[in-house]
Structure 1
């Protein structure tokens, strides 16, 4: 366990937390207000000298509670029915991560990227991919598996990833030196406006 200093880590997490909030609160100003509540609550907790074992998952829990408080305070009854469960949070994080898969595929050799793209993104079966790329079926399967390993390596090179106690991805944020994904994130955020 480490003593938390929220101001040391806030810049690393605030954009992913804001994205998490915006998926649940559509009003941009309200979403930013909830983010400020998260900062305030986190600061109040940490300023008492308390320790946090899994900082990122703890921040998401504080954020989840702040969203629920927002709906309670605004008497939005139907929205209160949405208890954000851990698996929903995981799906949300995986969905956000999948936005970057096509970009990351450009960073691995074409001989691996192409079969993986055809299989996982386009949904083709492996036999059809083998025929299309003039490969044997075992070779195609091997390339898909190797591509997944290489893709995971690139993802971990470009992102700071937090995993839960059972190994599931809780959250991720793009490292500042990974300009390719930073540009993709900006493009995604601009398209949502």
Structure 2
């Protein structure tokens, strides 16, 4: 009963968020933040990276919200994004492996970790490419100090410490700029989900 109530509340919040209600989206984030962090941490085993990937997960979900199918639980959709983000991170870092057949347990249920095969769905592949282009444009439009930290962090997979050394700025400044860059990207990508 409680599970169905949570599902219904999530559906209402998603509809509001799609209508431009940012408070509704922030409520969704607050409701699922802990579980998303748990899923990612279980895969990457690093608190700082898990926190970073958690923010990335919510940004991806924000951009892709219009693709969510309300026939399924929002939490399941969100947790798959989280798990796939963590797996992508490990693949880039080559720091470990995760069995794609082994489900991850959450407080609500189990989710199967899988990387979608876009090649079998040309329409989905096109949408994904269009979104990637829009995200790239948004990144390029950022002020230089924010653009460079995002590129180092997410395209070149540099650690906070490595970025600090390259730019000759404190690690705290790197983190602050990355946080601010993500906030700016969220604003720039606000209308993207409505266009797909």
For Structure 1 versus Structure 2, the TM-score category normalised by the shorter chain is 0.3 to 0.5
- TM-score computed with the length of structure 2 as normaliser: 0.40
- TM-score computed with the length of structure 1 as normaliser: 0.40
| Bigger proportion of residues as strand | 1
| Bigger proportion of residues as helix | 2
